[in-house]
Every structure is written in C-alpha cells, then in structure tokens.
C-alpha cells in the first residue's frame, strides 16, 4: 500500500520504504544473533552502488503497481536485505568474529561454502584448509580469528543446525538423521547434539 503524508516545508519529496520479514525462530538465530538492532549506512560509494539501484527499482514498483508488482516487490525486498548485510559485513562496525564477518574474507568464505554444501563429508582440518588454498596451521589460526571457533567445532554446530531442521520435519529415525549429517555412530551423534543444543535429539523432537 502506498500512502502519502505531508509534513514540513516545501523541500524535495522523501520516499520512505518499510517492510518486514517472517523468520523461523530456530534457524534465523544464525543471522539475527550477529546483526545489530539497527544498521545505518550512507548510500554513497562503490560498495552501496548496487543497493542504491535496487532501492530505486523497488520504489518504482511501489509507485507503479503494475501487473506482477507484488512478486517483483517481494523479490527485490529479499535482494535489498542481502545487499544490506553485505554492506554491513564489509564495514568497520562488523568487527566481531562470526560467519557474517567471514563473508568478507575470500578464503574463509570459500571454506564455509564447502561446509554448508557438503556438511555430511568426513572433513578434516587439512581437507578444509585445502578449500581455502592455505596450509593447515595458517588456516586453523585464520578460521579461529574470523569465525571465533575452531573449524571442526563450526562444522559440528552447522551439522546440528541441519539436524534441528530434520527433527522438526519428516519423521526420520535418529540413526537415519545421524547418517544424513555424516555420523556413523548414533551415540556420537547424540552426544554432539546434546553438547550443542543442551538436550538429546529425542527430547528435542518431543519438545518441538
């Protein structure tokens, strides 16, 4: 809905665009815990150029309201959200360790992509280091500095995130879930899950 509000003097017209996202409480914490309550930046310079373009496109769609505008507006809102995170991730304000900071690190971001896409693989630190094109020791130190935890610790937490989605979805047996995320032993899987989430996989499934 497009509303016009008159306030102030005879200066240039200001367009204010508002919107909201509905996020899953469990899985969205990986993003929301790393973002500040408010992100403010000037839309000037090279880093914000694409964001400015997308905002102008969104404003035009809101103004025109032509056929299919609802779909276009929804997609542009998603793009603006990701572009805003990109700008924040490369700013001086984003100094705390975490995967958001890693997005701006070319080598570590390549490793994260490998983990996220192939979390069930039997990764070792050496194998992860090869995805970043680094030596094992240099990679381990760099990963800990950027992410805030050791590579295999991050891998375990990411696996448990995927498990939490599986346990809230289809009715897989725990042994099947363990195998899907790379565990040969159901006992080792259960221990890792309880260490990360504080409850056993069975208890988590019942609670959810």
Residues 107 and 191 in one domain: yes
Look at residue 46 in the predicted model and tell me its pLDDT.
52
Residue that is last in its domain, among 95, 127, 156: 95
Residues 32 and 126 in one domain: no
The enclosing domain of 106 has a CATH number of: 1.10.10.60
Q: Interior CA angle at 169 toward 167 and 175, to 5°?
A: 40
Residues 130 and 88 in one domain: no
Residues 153 and 69 in one domain: no
- Answer whether 4's CB lies under 8 Å from 15's CB: no
Q: How confident is the model at residue 131 (pLDDT cuts 50, 70, 90)?
A: very high
Q: Is residue 47 pLDDT above 90, yes or no?
A: no
Average pLDDT of 119-141?
Answer: 94
**For the chain, how many structural domains are there in total?**
2
Question: Which residue would you say has higher pLDDT here, 105 or 29?
Answer: 105
Residues 124 and 70 in one domain: no
CA-CA distance, 189 to 200, in Å (whole number)? 10
What range does the domain containing 12 cover? 1-95
Residues 194 and 106 in one domain: yes
CA-CA distance, 75 to 70, in Å (whole number)? 9
Q: Kindly report the length of the chain.
A: 208
Q: What is the pLDDT of residues 157-173, one digit of tens each?
A: 889 888 888 887 767 78
Residues 82 and 130 in one domain: no
Look at residue 40 in the predicted model and tell me its pLDDT.
77
């Amino acid at each position: 809905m497009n509303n016009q509000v008159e306030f102030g003097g005879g200066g240039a017209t200001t367009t204010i665009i508002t919107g909201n996202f509905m996020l899953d409480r469990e899985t969205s914490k990986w993003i929301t815990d790393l973002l500040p309550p408010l992100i403010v930046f000037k839309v000037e310079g090279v880093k914000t150029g694409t964001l400015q373009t997308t905002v102008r496109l969104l404003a035009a769609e809101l103004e025109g309201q032509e056929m299919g505008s609802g779909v276009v507006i929804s997609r542009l809102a998603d793009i603006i959200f990701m572009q805003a995170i990109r700008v924040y991730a490369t700013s001086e304000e984003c100094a705390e360790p975490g995967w958001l900071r890693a997005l701006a690190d070319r080598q570590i971001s390549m490793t994260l992509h490998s983990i996220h896409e192939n979390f069930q693989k039997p990764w070792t630190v050496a194998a992860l280091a090869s995805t970043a094109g680094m030596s094992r020791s240099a990679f381990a130190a760099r990963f800990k500095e950027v992410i805030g935890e050791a590579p295999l610790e991050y891998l375990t937490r990411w696996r448990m995130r995927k498990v939490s989605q599986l346990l809230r979805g289809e009715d897989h047996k725990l042994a099947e879930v363990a195998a899907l995320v790379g565990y040969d032993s159901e006992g080792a899987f259960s221990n890792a899950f309880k260490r990360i989430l504080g409850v056993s996989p069975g208890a988590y499934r019942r609670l959810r």
